Amino acid sequence: MPKVLIADELSPAAVQVFRHRGLDVDEKIGLKPKELREIIGEYDGLAVRSATKVTPEVIAVARKLKVVGRAGIGIDNIDLKAATAAGICVMNTPFGNSITTAEHAIAMMMALARHIPQADRSTHAGKWEKSKFIGVELYAKTLGLIGCGNIGSIVADRAQGLKMKVVAYDPFLSPDRAVDLGVEKVELDELYSRADFISLHTPLTDQTRAMINKEALAKCQPGVRIINCARGGLIVEEDLRAALDSGQVGGAALDVFSEEPATSNVLFNHPHVVTTPHLGASSTEAQLNVALQVAEQMSDFLLHGAVTNALNMPSVTVEEAPRLRPYLKLAEQLGSFAGQVTEDPIKRIVVEYEGHAAALNIKPLTGTILQAVLRNSLDNVNMINAAHIAKERDIQVSEMRTEREGDYHTLIRLTVETDHFTRDLAGTLFAEKRPRLVQIKGINVDAELGPHMLYVTNEDKPGMIGNLGKTLGDSGINIATFALGRSAPGQDAIALIEIDGAIPVPVLEKVRTLPNVRQAKALVF
């Protein structure tokens, strides 16, 4: 039974989901880093929010860990690179708190426009400073959205309800989608020059880190107001403070900071700054939604192999998983075969999907092929980290689809290139569920792969089959199946022989010394 650790505060509904699905779950909230490292080795899954730090040191001792689930969007507290290298799936819940976060951004914009927090403090202090807190209307103002995905698009909708003009910068926003949302897609510099309010809704990446800096702020309209309910690292806080002091920025509403918990910050106590302690996703509805989603996603992954909202591997729905299962077995066999017979460093891997296979979700199939190819020469390779490892080793990976059917209604072809040779093989499914190898090096064969196989390449000469059978028989090795193929009479030939157990090394050496044998390999599947 898979075992899950909940390390941060989640709705009790998450525990119920895990237990209802048959998983063993422990709640241990507030663990110190050392305490987490001491126990993480027991668990297959780890559910967190933002408090627990999933560091390389934690990952290094998480010997059973298969999945980390983040109840929320941001994964700043999870080392994605280390998790991927270790073959651990990292998933988040990008939709559960979208409305809550968008509403918080709108609320912050309103509070900023009307000085609500400052006026509240003043009134509680017994003052009546109406003239001090004159605000601005949102009506007819231009809101610039940096990022127009799940949350940004909801903010756009709400802002349009307030009769604001919305412009958006997002490299991934298509023109058609912009029209559907009713926003104007612009480049970043144009957004800076036109926006009365700027709201950030982009993830923190190498490209977006510190994007709101003194150069960017200098391009803005004087008096622009900045709202950030996304990630603190998007803003250079010292530069924002200077722009606030000079009046270039008229105000800022910040829910996130470069370091959290933020007990002190250069922006604190500025008269034109509104702050909240990372409350964007903090609503009753959102907390329940993300807890349920992360529990369901992790359960589906651990129990069925379904992948939803993963950051480092392709998605596989619960419905797709059964359909993909026989193809994954075929992919595993093709990759394992190629990996075991390839001894030179690999330069290129090409995977072609034909017929029915071309209509499938091919990403997990390619991932399975890669891990099976690389596993023969590398340790700790799986579907999650295989593409990462291939890239590190400068192995070029290509995928191709051909929906038309050839000789087979469904086919996966794998080609492996080294500096010295190119080897290709192909396989299909018999009766939609039984993997079958149908071609090796351009030679047609018809073989199902068993646990122990002997692969022989030879010249097509009389007596070869008899010599091979006699050598195995004299050594007490029983043949289960025997598949043959040749390119042409008297030319290249291959034999794939299923045997009842592992072939001893001395017997393998005898096979290699038989007349006309070029190569003999013991394969394990």
DSSP three-state, residue 97: coil
CB-based contact 367:314 (threshold 8 Å): yes
Q: What is the dihedral of CA 302, 308, 313, 317, to 10 degrees?
A: 80
Active-site residue, selected from the candidate residues 42, 57, 190, 260: 260
Bridge partner list, 418 = 346
In this structure, the number of other CB atoms found within 10 A of the CB of residue 1 comes to: 8
DSSP three-state, residue 46: strand
ω into residue 515 within 30 of 0, thus cis? Answer: no
Q: What are phi and psi of 64, to 5 degrees?
A: -105, -10
Active-site residue, selected from the candidate residues 225, 231, 413, 452: 231
Residues with Cβ within 8 Å of residue 434, at least 6 apart in sequence:
326, 448
Active site (annotated) includes residue 42: no
**257: region left, alpha or beta (phi > 0 left; psi from -120 to 50 alpha):** beta
CB-based contact 281:97 (threshold 8 Å): yes
Active site (annotated) includes residue 201: no
Active site (annotated) includes residue 260: yes
Active-site residue, selected from the candidate residues 225, 241, 278, 436: 278
**What is the C-alpha to C-alpha distance for residues 476 and 162, in angstroms, rounded to an integer?**
84
DSSP three-state, residue 10: coil
Max CA distance (Å), the chain: 107
Bridge partner list, 26 = 5
Helical residues (DSSP H) of 376-461, grouped into ranges = 386-392
Tokens of 121: 């403090």
**What is the C-alpha to C-alpha distance for residues 412 and 419, in angstroms, rounded to an integer?**
24
Return the active site residues: 231, 260, 278
